[in-house]
Amino acid sequence: MNRYPLWKYILILVTVLLGLLYTAPNYFGDSPALQVTTGKQTVRINSDTKNQVADSLKRDGVPAEDVSLEGSGDSTSVRARFTSNDAQFKAKLVLERDLNRDPADPDYIVTVNLVKNTPLWMQKLRALPMNLGLDLRGGVHFLLQVDTKAVGETRIKGIQAAARAQLREQNVRHTGIDRVGNSVVINFRDAATRDQARNVLARQNQDLQFADAADGTDLKLIVTVKPEALQRVVEDGVKQNISTLGKRINELGVSEPVIQQQGKDRIVVELPGVQDVAHAKDIIGRTATLEFRMVDDSVLPGTETTAAIPLNSELFTGPGGPAVVSKDAFLTGDYISSATASFDRNQQPSVSLDLNGDGGRKMREATRPRVGKRMAVLLNEKGKYTVLSNATIQEELGSTFQITGLGTPEKAAELALLLRAGAMTAPTDFVEERVVGPQLGAENIARGLHSTVWGFVAIAVFMIVYYQLFGFFSVVALACNLLFLLAILSRLQATLTLPGIAAIALALGMAIDANVLINERIREELRNGNTPQAAIAAGFERAWATILDSNVTTLIVGLALLVFGSGPVRGFAIVHCLGILTSMFSAVFVSRGVVNLWYGRKKKLGKIAIGTVWTPGIAGAGAGGKNVAVKK
């Protein structure tokens, strides 16, 4: 009765092997590496950069073990791995020299870094080491809150400006447009005009909702943004901010930064290895600004670098240039409410821009007299200008217009991104910050590890002394539980924190409960006079219902913490829940498997080693007492 079919043993074997495979990456050491990230918004990292890095290293006699392209989008970087710190140091100098033409204004940032030595075949199976939380490796943590109210206000301002322009274009006569709180109120003399206005506005913008009101003889149309549309604006703002932050953080040269959305309107930024809050805050909070300027038409195109520059103009060279432009910007990036890559009437790649507030009026005033002439878009980062676009003004421009003549769709997408990334779309505040020193991080790892190891040893010793061979089986099951838990955490790429380690330790401490229940139950069955084989079977079967019951209540707690917890508590909750699930599997299925393997084959089993089974004098005088003598 205590035999498993073959497939059950195979299942156990397979899960243990998988457990070992996915836990393994955590044991590999680190090797020195260099990380190359972009130093400017206009410089992108791609496979060309990778080849450039590899070539440059080969040329100078410090070949890397491996050069790879990692991450995607804004956080792409090239990683080169080396065998020694010495090679890493030399390579850093080489790369800094070769990649950057101007050392004072680096295109690429080269940072010293560590890479796990996980073998390639393991990486292919997605067996990767766990991420360590900031409390374990040191670094800075910020929580940024997007000011949703301000986002809504900006949006309504934009709508006000757009409504004014659209009504004028369509010759709808109104007697005033005002912004009242989060709505735009338009006054009319008669109902027919109001209906007409409503139609015009609704056609132009699907996100608006309308309500009628009257104030004396004045008829009013109240325009508000649909709540779901406003929500979308906030979401877009958060996403855009995340991409902007990603670009800026690249400049800090941080390895594996975390920039994530949390909840509806918050952004978590974690920068491992960074200790300098002030500097990090400075970079994160900085704005790269966009400027729209007129190109000086007194200088003939093609002669910019040689001609004399007029007094109120300046020359910009570099990518996008050369261009001689006016020193005065007639419009800045603050007025851009959206920028998307699209195609113009001739199916040429272009960027569509929406301006908000007074942007449309300013643009109109500036471009009306200058149709046919050129206008430049400049990006100002750290006081340095880059010409993003230098295009001919085809017609008078308003609050929505297109920049064309960009060549490829990729370039259009890139420009759209830059235009958007110029400023943080949604204003943000720092609402939480944490800094953990690297020394403290290392201490925390040691603390977490020591408490788990010594706790495990204490439990193992006690279980073996008290329950003998069955205690040993329980310890095997507990070790499997630990293995499964670590494997799942590694596979999920969960971030391990100190509370997470505490949860692992606690999960082990609680998981042993299942084995205690089983062992006690087997002893009790023996005490009642059952044969050892029957006692084992009954012990496992009857304990199962109790184990299930008690784990369900613990799981309820884990889920509650997962739903309502944040930060460290969430990490704790995830491990807690997973620990319960793995413990049910290992304590019942695996330990039964081990017991069956050991005792199942023996048909006439006289005694089992489960420690002393004490029987009260009278009741134990029967079969029970003799059958269960201790096996020494």
Identity of the residue, 369 or 616, whose beta carbon is nearer to other proteins in the bound complex: 616
Q: Is 268 or 413 the residue whose CB approaches other proteins more closely?
A: 268
Identify which of 164, 230, 166, 253 has the alpha carbon closest to the alpha carbon of residue 204: 166
Which one of the spans 202-210, 241-249, 563-571, 600-608 is the region binding other proteins (CB under 8 A)? 563-571
**Chain residues 104-163 in contact with other proteins, contact rule CB under 8 A:** 111-114, 135, 138, 143, 145
462-501 residues in contact with other proteins (CB under 8 A) are: 462-463, 465-466, 498-499
Bond preceding residue 322 cis, omega within 30 of 0: yes
Q: In the set 106, 318, 357, 509, which binds other proteins (CB under 8 A)?
A: 509
C-alpha span between 53 and 232 (Å, rounded): 41
Radius of gyration of the chain (CA): 34
Please choose, out of 214-222, 357-365, 582-590, 606-614, the segment that lies near other proteins by the rule CB under 8 A. 606-614
Beta strands at 131-132 and 495-496: parallel, antiparallel or unpaired: parallel
Residue ranges in 252-271 that form contacts with other proteins under rule CB under 8 A: 253, 255
The answer to whether 568 contacts other proteins (rule: CB under 8 A) is yes
Both tokens of 520, joined, read: 């006690």
Residue 138 and residue 179: Cα distance in Å, rounded?
Answer: 48
Distance CA 448, CA 506 (A): 11
Choices 228-236, 328-336, 480-488, 515-523; region in contact with other proteins by CB under 8 A: 515-523
What letter does residue 610 receive in the DSSP assignment? S
What residues from 161 to 190 belong to the interface with other proteins (CB under 8 A)? none
Judged by CB under 8 A, the residue of 213, 552, 621, 623 near other proteins is 552
Task: Please identify, using beta-carbon distances, which residue of 169 and 429 lies nearer to other proteins.
Answer: 429
Interface with other proteins, residue 93, by CB under 8 A: no
Backbone φ/ψ region at 414: left (φ over 0), alpha (ψ -120 to 50), beta: alpha
Residue 376 or 502: which CB sits closer to other proteins?
Answer: 502
621 near other proteins, judged by CB under 8 A: no
Site string for other proteins, 417-446 (x = CB under 8 A): ------------xxxxxxxxxxxx--xx--
DSSP tag of 26: G
Q: Which is nearer to other proteins, 285 or 318 (CB)?
A: 285
The yes or no reply on residue 612 touching other proteins (CB under 8 A) is yes
Beta strands of 495-622 (E only): which ranges?
A: 495-496
Q: How many residues does the chain have?
A: 632
* The only residue of 211, 405, 564, 629 in contact with other proteins, by rule CB under 8 A: 564
Given a contact cutoff of 8 angstroms between Cβ atoms, the answer to whether 349 and 339 are in contact is: no
- Residue 59 DSSP SS3: helix
User: From residue 12 to residue 51, what is the string marking binding to other proteins with x (rule CB under 8 A)?
Assistant: ------------------x-x-------------------
Binders in 385-404 for other proteins, by CB under 8 A: none
What residues contact 492, with CB distance under 8 A and at least 6 apart? Answer: none
Position among 5, 369, 372, 616 found at the interface with other proteins (CB under 8 A): 616
* Rounded Cα gap, residues 614 and 602, in angstroms: 24
Give me the torsion for CA of 91, 96, 98, 104, rounded to 10°: -170
Whole-angstrom distance, CA of residue 540 vs CA of residue 393: 82
DSSP-based three-state secondary structure for 608: coil
CB closer to other proteins, 319 vs 438: 438
**For other proteins, which residue of 334, 447, 534, 585 counts as binding (CB under 8 A)?**
447
